[in-house]
Structures are given as C-alpha cells and as structure tokens.
C-alpha cells in the first residue's frame, strides 16, 4: 500500500515542517485540515520562530507608501537566475487604497521583530504588520514624534507575549502602549541621570530593540556619548558606554549583526571609512570588536550566512554590497532602480519571516 506524508510519525512530520520558510508554510496550511491544525498551533509557531534564525533574512523597504520590497539578502549573489529572480518580491502595504494615508507623509520603519514590521507615520499612528500572515494593527497616539517626543521605540515583552510602543515626551513622561491590553499606561521609570542633564541630551530615535531592551544612542555636546537602555520586563532605564565617542556629523547608528549588538560610524574625514563595532558579549565592554572598511561609506545590514562577510547598503540606498571582515569589497548588486529616492534612511529594516499573530488576534 502506498503511503503518504500524512502517515509519517507526527514528530517527524513536524521536524520537516520546521525547515520550511514561513511564507511557504502559510500556503501549506490549506492543503488539509491536519496541516492547517498543525501549522496554526501556537506551540508550532513558537518552535518555528526559534528555528527562523537559520533562514535567510530579508531587507524590507517602503518603496512608495503603496508597496514594500522584500529582498532575500543571501540569495542576491546566487548565479542561478531563477533563484535571483525569486530573491526580490514586491508586496502591497496593509493600508490598501487609503490615498490620504499613503500620500500625506512617508511611513518610516522603526524596526521589526518576530516577523512583524513596524511602520510609523507622522503625526499620530504606528502600524504593526506581519507581511506573511497579514496580521495587522493600527495604533493611534497623540504625539508628534518630531515635536513632542525625546525618544520612542517598539519592543516585545516575552514574559507577557506582548508588543509595546514606548514614547517619552519632552515633559519627561514615559508612556507605553500594550497591544495585549489595547491601552496606554504611564511608566514610573526614572532616567539614570538628572533632568538637568537630560535637557542637554538628544537621542537617536527610534531605538533598537535587542535582548529584551530598547537601545538609543545619546547625543550630548555634539558628540555621541553613551547608550540609553530601557529594559522591557523591568520597566527601567540604564546606560552603557559606547566603544568610542564621535562627532554628530558622522552618520552612526545601532544595528544587530550575527545576533550581536553593533554600532557603525561612517567617517568622511581624511577619506571615506566605515567603522563597525560589534559587541561579542552583551554588556561586556571588553568584548567590543572593531572592523574597518576603507575608501567607502556603507550601512551594515547583516552578516552573511557563513559569518565571514558583511552585507551592506550604500547611503543612497540603491546598491547592496558584500564585504569580507577584512574590509575587501567582494560584490555589488544594483537593487532599487525603480523607487523614489530620498529619505532612504529609516525606510527599511532587516526582516525575518514568521507565522506569528498579534496577541488579540489569536
């Protein structure tokens, strides 16, 4: 008698499905009731999330407020034309045909986590969206980020399976929106320095969520000084020193490279140079490791799948580069020839697919 895949032991069948990317699993859900039940199970979704680090990350880019472009960063340099063609995909953004929302202001992209992309529009709201499942929520707030907020960020609270939006206003009040409770609350968190010092500081916003905390770079006296850290579970602030201080004129930001917190500095003094500091062990100052790429300024996105190369974008945003850890330029890929240029910074994020849904959508 001929057997089908459904005759496999459940544990083996699940192990096979865990090796399939989320976008393909979402289609496979509809093969049968058994497959739908297994792939939709919350425990399987969590298991798949933990396996997702083995899948290639994508670059998510807001092209024109109507479409986003997803780019498989590891497949870009494949010589197979079919694989290369499949590496780039355009998808409609979740607000559909709402022309007023599309045209009034560019959606910036504060970041992504657990397969969700965060889109912010000034003034007034943030959209949280999973491009694979379509799970989506629009969160309105009364702030103008540009005018009212000194910092903001998005995060995930694993202890409560909750997505959070954190905003600190110029009056030094910290508010947090919980998707699970669908409400705003005031956080009684104390900044780790006096208000008199806080008034002199600026913050790179939005912050970077990593290891259960949101991280911002602190700017004081026209220099990058330290990092401000907000622990999501403890609802508390702390600081951490940067590996070096630099003037604000240097383009700099925090990124995640190879599951490590990292900082890049683009220098135009005495020739172009890209400096990348990687913190190999979180909160251990001695673990900061410096990599330098000379004669070019680029923004690091990810480490390659073998951990030996940086995949980076140029500051104009239309090219993707691969460089080895010694700073040698290996390959270049022309990527965005059909998008509206300008304000590329904050219109993209590195994104990993998932089957996750929002807390109130389960």
Predicted pLDDT of residue 114: 92
- 207 falls in which pLDDT band (50, 70, 90)? confident
Q: Is the Cβ–Cβ distance between 327 and 293 less than 8 Å?
A: yes
The share of the chain scoring above pLDDT 90, in percent, equals 21
pLDDT at 361: 47
The pLDDT value recorded for residue 65 is 78
Which residues partner with 58 through β-bridges?
72, 351
Domains and CATH numbers, the chain: 1-55 (no CATH), 56-361 (2.120.10.30)
pLDDT in tens, 276-289: 999 999 999 999 99
CA-to-CA distance for 338 and 358, rounded, in angstroms?
A: 33
Give mean pLDDT, residues 102-113: 73
The whole-number pLDDT of residue 34 equals 85
% of the chain with per-residue pLDDT over 70: 78
- Cis peptide before 331, with omega less than 30 degrees from 0? no
Residue of higher predicted confidence among 224 and 93? 93
Per-residue pLDDT at 354: 92
**Taking a C-beta distance cutoff of 8 angstroms, is the pair 210, 217 a contact?**
no
- pLDDT tens for residues 22-71? 988 999 888 888 889 889 999 999 999 888 766 778 888 887 778 888 88
Under DSSP, is residue 90 helix (H, G, I), strand (E, B) or coil?
A: strand
């Amino acid at each position: 008698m001929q057997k089908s895949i459904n005759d496999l032991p459940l544990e083996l069948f699940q192990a096979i499905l865990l090796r399939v990317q989320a976008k393909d699993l979402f289609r496979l859900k509809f093969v049968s009731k058994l497959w739908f039940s297994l792939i939709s199970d919350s425990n399987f979704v969590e298991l798949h999330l933990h396996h997702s680090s083995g899948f290639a990350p994508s670059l998510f880019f807001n092209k024109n407020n109507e479409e986003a472009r997803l780019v498989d960063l590891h497949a870009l340099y494949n010589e197979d034309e079919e694989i290369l063609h499949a590496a780039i995909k355009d998808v409609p953004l979740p607000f559909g045909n709402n022309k007023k929302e599309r045209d009034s202001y560019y959606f910036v992209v504060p970041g992504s986590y657990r397969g969700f992309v965060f889109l912010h529009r000034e003034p007034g709201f943030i959209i949280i969206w999973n491009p694979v499942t379509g799970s989506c929520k629009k969160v309105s707030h009364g702030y103008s980020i540009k005018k009212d907020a000194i910092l903001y960020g998005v995060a995930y609270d694993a202890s409560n399976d909750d997505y959070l939006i954190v905003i600190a206003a110029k009056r030094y009040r910290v508010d947090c929106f919980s998707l699970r409770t669908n409400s705003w609350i005031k956080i009684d968190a104390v900044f780790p320095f006096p208000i008199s010092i806080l008034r002199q500081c600026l913050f790179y916003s939005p912050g970077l969520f990593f290891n259960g905390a949101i991280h911002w770079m602190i700017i004081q006296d026209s220099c990058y000084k330290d990092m401000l850290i907000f622990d999501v579970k403890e609802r508390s602030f702390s600081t951490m020193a940067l590996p070096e201080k630099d003037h604000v004129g240097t383009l700099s930001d925090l990124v995640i490279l190879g599951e490590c917190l990292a900082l890049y500095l683009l220098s135009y003094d005495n020739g172009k140079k890209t400096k990348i500091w990687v913190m190999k062990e979180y909160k251990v100052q001695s673990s900061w490791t410096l990599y330098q790429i000379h004669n070019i300024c680029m923004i690091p996105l990810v480490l390659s799948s073998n951990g030996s190369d940086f995949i980076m974008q140029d500051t104009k945003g239309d090219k993707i580069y691969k460089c080895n850890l010694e700073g040698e330029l290996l390959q270049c890929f022309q990527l965005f020839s059909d998008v509206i240029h300008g304000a590329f910074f904050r219109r993209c994020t590195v994104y990993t697919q998932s089957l996750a849904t929002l807390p109130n959508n389960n």
